[in-house]
Amino acid sequence: MRITIFGTGYVGLVTGACLADAGHEVMCMDIDAQKVARLKQGEIPIYEPGLETLVTENVGQQRLLFTTDAAEAVAFGTLQFIAVGTPPDEDGSADLQYVLAVAKTIGQHMEDYKVVVDKSTVPVGTADRVHEAIAGALGERGVSLDFDVCSNPEFLKEGAAIEDFTHGARIVVGTDSERVKALMRECYAPYNRRVEKLMFMDVRSAELTKYAANAMLATKISFMNEIANLAERLGADIEQVRRGIGSDPRIGYHFIYPGCGYGGSCFPKDVQALARTASQIGYDPQLLNAVEAVNDRQKSTLFEKLGQAFDGQLDGKTVAVWGLAFKPNTDDMREAPSRHLMEALWAAGARVRAYDPEAMEECRRIYGERDDLTLVGGRDEALQGSDALVICTEWKSFRTVDFAHLHRTLRTPVIVDGRNLFEPDQVRAAGLLYFAVGRGDSL
Protein backbone atom coordinates (compact mmCIF):
# COMPACT_ATOMS: atom_id res chain seq x y z
CA MET A 1 0.00 0.00 0.00
CA ARG A 2 1.03 3.65 -0.36
CA ILE A 3 2.00 5.45 2.78
CA THR A 4 3.06 9.04 3.45
CA ILE A 5 5.10 10.04 6.47
CA PHE A 6 5.50 13.63 7.61
CA GLY A 7 8.76 14.23 9.45
CA THR A 8 12.07 12.49 8.78
CA GLY A 9 13.29 12.67 12.35
CA TYR A 10 14.10 9.61 14.30
CA VAL A 11 10.56 8.21 14.51
CA GLY A 12 9.50 9.14 10.98
CA LEU A 13 12.60 7.75 9.37
CA VAL A 14 12.54 4.45 11.26
CA THR A 15 8.83 4.02 10.54
CA GLY A 16 9.27 4.89 6.87
CA ALA A 17 12.28 2.63 6.37
CA CYS A 18 10.67 -0.35 8.15
CA LEU A 19 7.36 -0.02 6.31
CA ALA A 20 9.18 0.29 2.97
CA ASP A 21 11.29 -2.71 3.85
CA ALA A 22 8.08 -4.66 4.41
CA GLY A 23 7.11 -3.98 0.80
CA HIS A 24 4.98 -0.86 1.07
CA GLU A 25 5.59 2.21 -1.05
CA VAL A 26 6.54 4.99 1.32
CA MET A 27 7.02 8.70 0.75
CA CYS A 28 8.67 10.70 3.53
CA MET A 29 8.10 14.43 3.50
CA ASP A 30 10.18 17.01 5.34
CA ILE A 31 10.30 20.78 5.05
CA ASP A 32 14.09 20.72 5.50
CA ALA A 33 15.34 20.63 1.90
CA GLN A 34 18.94 19.99 2.86
CA LYS A 35 17.97 17.00 4.96
CA VAL A 36 15.82 15.58 2.18
CA ALA A 37 18.66 16.00 -0.33
CA ARG A 38 21.02 14.11 1.97
CA LEU A 39 18.49 11.36 2.64
CA LYS A 40 18.03 10.81 -1.09
CA GLN A 41 21.77 10.05 -1.18
CA GLY A 42 21.32 7.59 1.69
CA GLU A 43 22.93 9.93 4.25
CA ILE A 44 21.33 9.51 7.65
CA PRO A 45 21.26 12.51 10.00
CA ILE A 46 21.19 10.38 13.17
CA TYR A 47 23.10 7.41 14.49
CA GLU A 48 20.83 4.38 14.72
CA PRO A 49 22.21 0.87 14.20
CA GLY A 50 20.98 -0.67 10.93
CA LEU A 51 19.05 2.36 9.74
CA GLU A 52 21.47 3.53 7.08
CA THR A 53 21.49 0.14 5.35
CA LEU A 54 17.71 -0.08 5.52
CA VAL A 55 17.25 3.40 4.04
CA THR A 56 19.85 2.90 1.31
CA GLU A 57 18.42 -0.46 0.25
CA ASN A 58 14.85 0.75 0.10
CA VAL A 59 15.76 3.98 -1.66
CA GLY A 60 17.57 1.77 -4.19
CA GLN A 61 14.45 -0.35 -4.63
CA GLN A 62 12.45 2.88 -5.08
CA ARG A 63 10.09 1.87 -2.30
CA LEU A 64 11.30 4.70 -0.08
CA LEU A 65 10.95 8.18 -1.52
CA PHE A 66 11.73 11.58 -0.05
CA THR A 67 10.17 14.89 -0.91
CA THR A 68 9.75 18.47 0.27
CA ASP A 69 6.62 18.90 -1.81
CA ALA A 70 3.58 18.86 0.47
CA ALA A 71 1.02 18.47 -2.33
CA GLU A 72 2.88 15.46 -3.72
CA ALA A 73 3.17 13.94 -0.24
CA VAL A 74 -0.52 14.33 0.56
CA ALA A 75 -1.55 12.92 -2.81
CA PHE A 76 0.71 9.88 -2.35
CA GLY A 77 -0.57 7.79 0.55
CA THR A 78 -3.97 6.74 1.82
CA LEU A 79 -2.31 6.59 5.24
CA GLN A 80 -0.75 9.89 6.28
CA PHE A 81 1.51 9.44 9.29
CA ILE A 82 2.35 12.49 11.36
CA ALA A 83 5.77 11.93 12.91
CA VAL A 84 7.00 15.44 13.57
CA GLY A 85 8.46 16.71 16.84
CA THR A 86 6.51 17.74 19.91
CA PRO A 87 9.14 19.68 21.88
CA PRO A 88 8.31 20.79 25.40
CA ASP A 89 6.75 24.23 25.74
CA GLU A 90 8.09 26.63 28.34
CA ASP A 91 5.76 25.11 30.93
CA GLY A 92 6.65 21.48 30.05
CA SER A 93 3.53 20.69 28.04
CA ALA A 94 3.97 19.31 24.53
CA ASP A 95 4.13 21.94 21.82
CA LEU A 96 1.70 20.88 19.10
CA GLN A 97 2.42 23.56 16.51
CA TYR A 98 4.27 21.19 14.13
CA VAL A 99 1.65 18.44 14.41
CA LEU A 100 -1.16 20.89 13.75
CA ALA A 101 0.72 22.51 10.87
CA VAL A 102 0.95 19.09 9.17
CA ALA A 103 -2.75 18.50 9.81
CA LYS A 104 -3.52 21.81 8.12
CA THR A 105 -1.28 20.92 5.17
CA ILE A 106 -3.15 17.65 4.73
CA GLY A 107 -6.47 19.50 4.77
CA GLN A 108 -5.17 22.00 2.23
CA HIS A 109 -4.08 19.41 -0.32
CA MET A 110 -6.17 16.26 0.07
CA GLU A 111 -8.42 15.22 -2.79
CA ASP A 112 -9.70 11.85 -1.59
CA TYR A 113 -10.20 9.79 1.59
CA LYS A 114 -7.24 9.79 3.99
CA VAL A 115 -6.45 8.18 7.32
CA VAL A 116 -4.31 10.56 9.34
CA VAL A 117 -2.20 8.63 11.81
CA ASP A 118 -0.78 10.41 14.89
CA LYS A 119 2.60 8.78 15.45
CA SER A 120 4.15 11.65 17.39
CA THR A 121 3.81 11.51 21.15
CA VAL A 122 0.91 13.84 21.73
CA PRO A 123 -1.28 14.71 24.73
CA VAL A 124 -4.64 13.06 25.16
CA GLY A 125 -7.18 14.89 23.02
CA THR A 126 -4.77 15.75 20.20
CA ALA A 127 -6.53 13.55 17.66
CA ASP A 128 -9.57 15.76 18.10
CA ARG A 129 -7.47 18.86 17.46
CA VAL A 130 -5.88 17.28 14.39
CA HIS A 131 -9.40 16.48 13.17
CA GLU A 132 -10.45 20.10 13.68
CA ALA A 133 -7.36 21.44 11.90
CA ILE A 134 -8.00 19.28 8.83
CA ALA A 135 -11.71 20.07 8.82
CA GLY A 136 -10.84 23.78 9.13
CA ALA A 137 -8.50 23.67 6.13
CA LEU A 138 -11.06 21.76 4.07
CA GLY A 139 -13.68 24.32 5.09
CA GLU A 140 -11.48 27.16 3.85
CA ARG A 141 -11.27 25.42 0.50
CA GLY A 142 -15.03 24.99 0.54
CA VAL A 143 -14.76 21.25 -0.04
CA SER A 144 -16.11 18.34 1.93
CA LEU A 145 -14.06 15.14 1.98
CA ASP A 146 -14.15 12.08 4.17
CA PHE A 147 -11.18 11.39 6.46
CA ASP A 148 -10.33 9.73 9.77
CA VAL A 149 -7.75 10.44 12.45
CA CYS A 150 -6.29 7.64 14.54
CA SER A 151 -3.60 7.34 17.18
CA ASN A 152 -0.69 4.93 16.68
CA PRO A 153 1.99 5.69 19.29
CA GLU A 154 5.52 4.41 18.86
CA PHE A 155 7.46 2.39 21.41
CA LEU A 156 10.91 2.63 19.85
CA LYS A 157 14.03 2.74 21.98
CA GLU A 158 16.91 4.67 20.50
CA GLY A 159 19.67 2.28 19.57
CA ALA A 160 17.20 -0.58 19.13
CA ALA A 161 14.53 1.17 17.09
CA ILE A 162 14.48 -1.17 14.11
CA GLU A 163 14.22 -4.24 16.32
CA ASP A 164 11.46 -2.54 18.35
CA PHE A 165 9.55 -1.65 15.19
CA THR A 166 9.84 -5.06 13.59
CA HIS A 167 9.58 -7.20 16.74
CA GLY A 168 7.82 -4.91 19.22
CA ALA A 169 5.60 -6.18 22.02
CA ARG A 170 2.47 -4.53 20.66
CA ILE A 171 1.06 -2.25 17.99
CA VAL A 172 -1.43 0.12 19.55
CA VAL A 173 -4.05 1.74 17.34
CA GLY A 174 -6.67 4.10 18.72
CA THR A 175 -9.74 4.29 16.51
CA ASP A 176 -13.45 3.53 16.51
CA SER A 177 -13.66 3.13 12.74
CA GLU A 178 -13.78 -0.30 11.10
CA ARG A 179 -12.40 1.15 7.88
CA VAL A 180 -9.35 2.49 9.73
CA LYS A 181 -8.87 -0.82 11.53
CA ALA A 182 -8.77 -2.67 8.20
CA LEU A 183 -6.25 -0.24 6.68
CA MET A 184 -3.98 -0.27 9.74
CA ARG A 185 -4.15 -4.06 9.78
CA GLU A 186 -2.97 -4.09 6.17
CA CYS A 187 -0.21 -1.59 6.94
CA TYR A 188 1.20 -3.63 9.82
CA ALA A 189 0.46 -7.10 8.44
CA PRO A 190 4.13 -7.83 7.63
CA TYR A 191 5.05 -7.24 11.27
CA ASN A 192 2.00 -8.91 12.75
CA ARG A 193 2.42 -12.45 11.53
CA ARG A 194 2.83 -15.11 14.16
CA VAL A 195 1.46 -13.45 17.26
CA GLU A 196 -1.43 -11.00 17.19
CA LYS A 197 0.17 -7.73 18.26
CA LEU A 198 -2.41 -5.27 17.04
CA MET A 199 -4.40 -3.75 19.88
CA PHE A 200 -7.33 -1.63 18.89
CA MET A 201 -8.71 0.74 21.48
CA ASP A 202 -10.38 4.12 21.63
CA VAL A 203 -8.32 7.11 20.58
CA ARG A 204 -7.85 8.67 24.01
CA SER A 205 -6.78 5.39 25.58
CA ALA A 206 -4.16 4.94 22.86
CA GLU A 207 -2.86 8.45 23.42
CA LEU A 208 -2.65 7.87 27.17
CA THR A 209 -1.07 4.42 26.72
CA LYS A 210 2.04 6.01 25.27
CA TYR A 211 2.52 8.39 28.20
CA ALA A 212 1.60 5.73 30.75
CA ALA A 213 4.23 3.34 29.35
CA ASN A 214 7.04 5.89 29.49
CA ALA A 215 5.93 7.24 32.87
CA MET A 216 5.82 3.71 34.32
CA LEU A 217 9.34 2.95 33.07
CA ALA A 218 10.63 6.28 34.39
CA THR A 219 8.94 5.52 37.71
CA LYS A 220 10.76 2.18 37.96
CA ILE A 221 14.08 3.91 37.39
CA SER A 222 13.46 6.70 39.89
CA PHE A 223 12.25 4.15 42.42
CA MET A 224 15.45 2.15 42.04
CA ASN A 225 17.59 5.26 42.25
CA GLU A 226 15.85 6.21 45.48
CA ILE A 227 16.43 2.74 46.94
CA ALA A 228 20.06 2.92 45.75
CA ASN A 229 20.54 6.18 47.63
CA LEU A 230 19.07 4.52 50.72
CA ALA A 231 21.29 1.44 50.24
CA GLU A 232 24.33 3.68 50.08
CA ARG A 233 23.44 5.26 53.40
CA LEU A 234 22.37 2.02 55.05
CA GLY A 235 25.43 -0.02 54.11
CA ALA A 236 23.52 -2.27 51.70
CA ASP A 237 24.43 -3.15 48.10
CA ILE A 238 21.78 -2.13 45.56
CA GLU A 239 23.00 -4.69 43.02
CA GLN A 240 22.18 -7.49 45.42
CA VAL A 241 18.88 -5.84 46.30
CA ARG A 242 18.13 -5.53 42.56
CA ARG A 243 18.66 -9.23 42.04
CA GLY A 244 16.59 -9.97 45.11
CA ILE A 245 13.56 -8.03 43.98
CA GLY A 246 13.88 -8.66 40.22
CA SER A 247 13.51 -12.39 40.79
CA ASP A 248 9.89 -11.77 41.77
CA PRO A 249 8.01 -12.02 38.47
CA ARG A 250 5.61 -9.34 39.67
CA ILE A 251 8.58 -6.95 39.69
CA GLY A 252 10.87 -8.36 36.97
CA TYR A 253 14.43 -7.47 35.99
CA HIS A 254 13.68 -4.90 33.30
CA PHE A 255 14.31 -1.23 33.92
CA ILE A 256 15.42 -1.57 37.52
CA TYR A 257 19.03 -0.62 36.91
CA PRO A 258 20.05 2.22 39.18
CA GLY A 259 22.27 4.87 37.66
CA CYS A 260 22.93 8.58 37.30
CA GLY A 261 19.39 9.35 36.17
CA TYR A 262 17.38 8.79 33.01
CA GLY A 263 17.85 11.12 30.05
CA GLY A 264 16.98 11.21 26.38
CA SER A 265 14.28 12.88 24.40
CA CYS A 266 11.39 10.85 25.82
CA PHE A 267 11.24 10.09 29.53
CA PRO A 268 12.04 13.58 30.86
CA LYS A 269 9.75 15.25 28.31
CA ASP A 270 6.88 12.76 28.60
CA VAL A 271 6.79 12.59 32.40
CA GLN A 272 6.70 16.38 32.45
CA ALA A 273 4.04 16.62 29.76
CA LEU A 274 1.78 14.10 31.53
CA ALA A 275 2.19 15.96 34.81
CA ARG A 276 1.33 19.15 32.99
CA THR A 277 -1.79 17.57 31.47
CA ALA A 278 -2.82 16.42 34.95
CA SER A 279 -2.40 19.89 36.42
CA GLN A 280 -4.36 21.43 33.57
CA ILE A 281 -7.39 19.31 34.45
CA GLY A 282 -7.06 20.10 38.13
CA TYR A 283 -5.42 16.85 39.26
CA ASP A 284 -2.30 17.01 41.41
CA PRO A 285 0.13 14.44 39.90
CA GLN A 286 2.13 13.73 43.05
CA LEU A 287 3.83 10.56 41.88
CA LEU A 288 4.82 11.95 38.47
CA ASN A 289 6.27 15.06 40.11
CA ALA A 290 8.27 12.89 42.49
CA VAL A 291 9.59 10.73 39.64
CA GLU A 292 10.92 13.86 37.97
CA ALA A 293 12.32 15.36 41.16
CA VAL A 294 14.14 12.15 42.10
CA ASN A 295 15.64 12.01 38.60
CA ASP A 296 16.83 15.61 38.71
CA ARG A 297 18.49 14.94 42.04
CA GLN A 298 20.07 11.75 40.74
CA LYS A 299 21.81 13.60 37.93
CA SER A 300 23.66 15.66 40.56
CA THR A 301 25.06 12.63 42.37
CA LEU A 302 28.08 12.24 40.05
CA PHE A 303 29.23 15.75 40.85
CA GLU A 304 28.46 15.34 44.55
CA LYS A 305 30.53 12.16 44.72
CA LEU A 306 33.46 13.88 43.06
CA GLY A 307 33.07 16.69 45.57
CA GLN A 308 33.16 14.10 48.35
CA ALA A 309 36.36 12.58 46.95
CA PHE A 310 38.11 15.93 46.69
CA ASP A 311 36.68 17.64 49.79
CA GLY A 312 34.77 20.00 47.57
CA GLN A 313 37.99 21.28 45.96
CA LEU A 314 37.28 20.78 42.27
CA ASP A 315 38.65 24.10 41.10
CA GLY A 316 41.60 23.46 38.77
CA LYS A 317 41.02 19.69 38.65
CA THR A 318 40.78 17.77 35.39
CA VAL A 319 38.12 15.09 35.13
CA ALA A 320 38.01 12.30 32.55
CA VAL A 321 34.47 11.57 31.37
CA TRP A 322 33.68 8.26 29.68
CA GLY A 323 30.37 8.40 27.88
CA LEU A 324 28.49 11.50 26.74
CA ALA A 325 25.37 9.99 25.14
CA PHE A 326 22.35 9.52 27.43
CA LYS A 327 22.68 5.77 26.89
CA PRO A 328 24.77 3.40 24.74
CA ASN A 329 24.26 2.87 20.99
CA THR A 330 23.18 6.41 20.29
CA ASP A 331 24.83 9.77 19.76
CA ASP A 332 21.93 11.54 21.45
CA MET A 333 22.92 13.82 24.32
CA ARG A 334 19.53 15.29 25.08
CA GLU A 335 19.03 15.48 28.86
CA ALA A 336 22.13 13.30 29.27
CA PRO A 337 23.57 13.01 32.80
CA SER A 338 27.00 13.82 31.27
CA ARG A 339 25.80 17.33 30.47
CA HIS A 340 24.62 17.92 33.99
CA LEU A 341 28.00 16.75 35.28
CA MET A 342 30.16 18.71 32.83
CA GLU A 343 28.25 21.92 33.37
CA ALA A 344 28.57 21.56 37.15
CA LEU A 345 32.30 20.85 36.78
CA TRP A 346 32.85 23.90 34.62
CA ALA A 347 30.93 26.07 37.08
CA ALA A 348 33.24 24.76 39.82
CA GLY A 349 36.35 25.65 37.79
CA ALA A 350 37.26 22.11 36.69
CA ARG A 351 38.26 20.93 33.22
CA VAL A 352 36.89 17.94 31.33
CA ARG A 353 38.59 15.42 29.03
CA ALA A 354 35.76 13.47 27.42
CA TYR A 355 35.36 10.45 25.18
CA ASP A 356 32.30 8.77 23.70
CA PRO A 357 32.27 6.16 20.92
CA GLU A 358 29.52 8.00 18.99
CA ALA A 359 28.59 11.34 20.52
CA MET A 360 31.77 13.39 20.00
CA GLU A 361 30.40 15.37 17.08
CA GLU A 362 27.15 15.99 18.92
CA CYS A 363 29.10 17.24 21.95
CA ARG A 364 31.10 19.59 19.73
CA ARG A 365 27.86 20.84 18.22
CA ILE A 366 26.35 21.54 21.64
CA TYR A 367 29.32 23.08 23.45
CA GLY A 368 31.57 24.30 20.63
CA GLU A 369 35.22 25.07 21.34
CA ARG A 370 35.97 25.84 24.96
CA ASP A 371 39.16 25.83 27.02
CA ASP A 372 37.75 23.63 29.75
CA LEU A 373 36.60 20.84 27.40
CA THR A 374 38.97 18.54 25.53
CA LEU A 375 37.38 15.90 23.35
CA VAL A 376 39.78 13.01 22.90
CA GLY A 377 39.93 10.07 20.52
CA GLY A 378 39.85 7.20 23.02
CA ARG A 379 39.10 6.22 26.59
CA ASP A 380 42.77 5.92 27.54
CA GLU A 381 43.56 9.34 26.20
CA ALA A 382 40.85 10.78 28.43
CA LEU A 383 42.72 9.51 31.48
CA GLN A 384 46.01 11.25 30.61
CA GLY A 385 46.57 14.10 33.02
CA SER A 386 43.17 13.61 34.67
CA ASP A 387 42.61 13.66 38.42
CA ALA A 388 39.58 11.38 38.35
CA LEU A 389 37.41 9.29 36.03
CA VAL A 390 33.63 9.52 35.82
CA ILE A 391 31.60 6.99 33.84
CA CYS A 392 28.33 8.42 32.55
CA THR A 393 27.29 5.87 29.91
CA GLU A 394 27.52 2.07 29.99
CA TRP A 395 29.05 1.54 26.53
CA LYS A 396 30.22 -2.05 26.16
CA SER A 397 33.77 -0.92 25.42
CA PHE A 398 34.02 0.57 28.94
CA ARG A 399 33.29 -2.70 30.69
CA THR A 400 36.74 -4.24 30.57
CA VAL A 401 39.31 -2.24 32.46
CA ASP A 402 42.85 -2.85 33.69
CA PHE A 403 42.53 -1.23 37.11
CA ALA A 404 46.26 -1.26 37.79
CA HIS A 405 46.82 0.69 34.57
CA LEU A 406 44.04 3.06 35.51
CA HIS A 407 45.65 3.59 38.90
CA ARG A 408 48.98 4.39 37.27
CA THR A 409 47.46 6.77 34.73
CA LEU A 410 45.12 8.87 36.85
CA ARG A 411 46.72 11.60 38.95
CA THR A 412 44.50 10.64 41.89
CA PRO A 413 42.95 7.17 42.05
CA VAL A 414 39.29 8.19 41.96
CA ILE A 415 36.53 6.55 39.90
CA VAL A 416 32.94 7.68 40.04
CA ASP A 417 30.85 5.08 38.22
CA GLY A 418 27.35 6.27 37.38
CA ARG A 419 26.41 2.90 35.86
CA ASN A 420 27.72 0.29 38.29
CA LEU A 421 29.96 -1.36 35.71
CA PHE A 422 32.42 -2.97 38.10
CA GLU A 423 32.61 -5.02 41.26
CA PRO A 424 33.56 -2.63 44.07
CA ASP A 425 35.87 -5.14 45.78
CA GLN A 426 37.88 -5.66 42.62
CA VAL A 427 38.30 -1.95 41.96
CA ARG A 428 39.17 -1.18 45.55
CA ALA A 429 41.64 -4.06 45.66
CA ALA A 430 43.63 -2.19 43.01
CA GLY A 431 43.90 0.73 45.42
CA LEU A 432 41.34 2.92 43.71
CA LEU A 433 38.68 4.96 45.44
CA TYR A 434 35.48 3.74 43.85
CA PHE A 435 32.15 5.51 44.07
CA ALA A 436 29.33 3.58 42.44
CA VAL A 437 25.56 3.97 42.82
CA GLY A 438 24.10 2.42 45.95
CA ARG A 439 27.06 0.14 46.62
CA GLY A 440 28.51 1.32 49.89
CA ASP A 441 30.85 4.15 50.64
CA SER A 442 34.36 4.34 49.26
CA LEU A 443 35.77 6.63 51.92
Contacts with ligand UGA, residue ranges (CB under 6 A): 121, 154-158, 214, 217, 221, 255-257, 259, 262-264, 266-267, 326-327
Distance CA(68)–CA(66), nearest Å, equals 7
| Cβ 326 to ligand UGA shortest distance, Å | 5
The answer to the question of whether 30 is labelled as a binding residue is yes
210 a known binding residue? yes
Minimum distance from CB of 8 to ligand UGA (Å)? Answer: 16
d(CA 302, CA 362): 21
Give CA–CA dist 190/218, Å, rounded.
31
Q: How far is the CB of 410 from ligand UGA (least distance, A)?
A: 25
Left, alpha or beta for 235 (phi > 0: left; psi -120 to 50: alpha)? left
322 touches 393 (CB < 8 A): yes
Spatial separation of the C-alpha atoms in residues 348 and 366, rounded to whole Å: 20
In the three-class reduction of DSSP (H, G, I as helix; E, B as strand; rest coil), residue 321 is classed as: strand
Angle at 347 between CA 345 and CA 351, to 5 degrees: 45
257 annotated binding-site participant? yes
Catalytic residue among 150, 187, 266, 392: 266
Least distance (Å) between residue 334 CB and ligand UGA: 9
Nearest CB to ligand UGA, comparing residues 180 and 221: 221
CA angle at 171 for the pair 283 and 148, rounded to the nearest 5°: 75
255 appears as a binding residue in the annotation: yes
DSSP string, 27-57: EEE-S-HHHHHHHHTT--SS--TTHHHHHHH
Sign for the CA dihedral angle at 41, 43, 48, 49 comes to positive
Tell me how far, at minimum, the Cβ of 147 lies from ligand UGA, in Å: 26
Q: Which is nearer to ligand UGA, 155 or 346 (CB)?
A: 155
52 appears as a binding residue in the annotation: no
Per residue, what are the HEC states of 209-268?
HHHHHHHHHHHHHHHHHHHHHHHHHHCCCHHHHHHHHHCCCCCCCCCCCCCCCCCCCCHH
Q: Is 343 marked as binding a ligand? A: no
Q: Is 266 part of the annotated catalytic residue set?
A: yes
Nearest to 227, CA basis, from 207, 205, 243, 216: 243
Binding positions for substrate are 155-158, 210, 255-259, 263, 327
Please give the positions annotated as active site. 266
Binding residues for NAD(+) are 30, 35, 86, 121, 158, 269, 334
In the annotated binding site, the residues are 30, 35, 86, 121, 155-158, 210, 255-259, 263, 269, 327, 334
